[in-house]
Every structure is written in structure tokens, then in C-alpha cells.
Amino acid sequence: MPGKESKGETSSEIKLKPVGVVRSEIKELSLVAGSRDLKWRGKLEASKAEKSGVSELVLNSDLTDMLDGIEEFSHLLVLYWPHLVPPESRVPMKVHPMGRGAFPMVGLFATCSPIRPNSILVMAVRLLERKGNILRVEGLDAVDGSPVLDIKPYVPSYYAKDEVRESDWMKQIHREFANLSS
């Protein structure tokens, strides 16, 4: 068994090799780590536009054959690395979601923040088109140049769960995004 485990800790390291890169209009982070909390630098309207924008996933050309059949899926899961988040900022244990003091201080793992011990982010996106090793997708809020770690088809019957519960503050965030289009 790789790595030595004791008291829930592991001593092994994991090395990942990007399979491609994100090309998008997003050039800087909206959410950054402050000294003890998250800081929101963006505007809600801009963040909503980012989530509905079109990006390209440019896969390494030697992996093009791995995309065969992907056009049969309307949505994908994209796992990527937020490369502009400095390693020293990946340490807060508790944060206010989206850096908003009106929300309760919660453990980092209770948030979707890109500021994480291992900043592997995942986003479900709509696949618009494939051309060779390039996938045009809608709904990826990744910064231009973010390394793509993996791509998987989104299969509702595999990922959907019954009786899902979420926090009141997360519901509030979703309501605020939804109200921008009203």
C-alpha cells in the first residue's frame, strides 16, 4: 500500500501531469486568500458572466484519441488546477464563504473555494463542440492558462444523489446568482 498512514496522515506525495490547458477570457482571480479569511475582489455580475462564458480546453495533441466519443455527451466534468493561487495562501482552516462576513465562518472543506490544501477544482460544464484536441465548453470559471488535470463525461445517474442537503448560505449564493438574470 503506497504511503505510510498513521492517525489519518499520509507521507506519500502525488504527482499530476496536466492533460491540457484552459483558454478563457478570465485573466485574474475573483476570490483570494487574505491573512485569515477569503477576500472577494470581483463583482457578482462578473462572476455570473464567467460561469456562463465559453472557454476552450486545449488538450495535449498526443491525447487527442482519448476524446473519441466525447461528443455523445452534453456535459463534462473538468478537473483543473487554479495555477494563480499561490501555495502560501492555501492554508486557512476556516473562512467566510466567498469572503462575506455575513455568512458563518466554516471549515474550508465546507466551501467550493479555490483556496484549498490541494487546489484540485471540478466544474460541470456544457460541451458545445469538439475540434480535434480542442473542446469548446460553457460554464467553466477557470482563469486562462489553468492546467486541465482530467475530463470525464457528466452522467446524471452516476453523480446525482437523492435527498441532497446544502447549507442556507449556499442556497443564498445560488439565489443571488439566479436573481441577476431576472
Angstrom distance (rounded) from CA 74 to CA 149: 20
Query: What was the pLDDT predicted at 101?
Result: 81
Q: With contact defined as beta carbons under 8 Å apart, do 24 and 140 qualify?
A: yes
| Residues of the domain holding 73 | 15-156
* pLDDT value for 41: 56
| Confidence band of 66 (pLDDT split at 50, 70, 90) | very high
Chain CA centroid to CA 37, Å: 19
For residue 100, what pLDDT band results from cuts at 50, 70 and 90? confident
- CATH code, 104: 2.40.30.70
Q: What percent of the chain has pLDDT over 90?
A: 36
C-alpha 131 chain-centroid distance: 23
| Burial degree of 100 (CB within 10 A; 0-12, 13-18, 19+) | middle
Q: Is residue 167 one of the residues assigned to a domain?
A: no
Determine, yes or no, domain membership for 2.
Answer: no
Is residue 27, in this structure, part of any structural domain at all? yes
Confidence of residue 102 (pLDDT cuts 50, 70, 90): confident
Q: Which three cell numbers stand for residue 46?
A: 462578473
Residue 178 lies in a domain: no
Greater confidence (162 vs 30) lies with 162
What total of structural domains would you count in the chain? 1
Task: Tell whether 9 is covered by a domain.
Answer: no
Q: Is residue 78 part of a domain?
A: yes
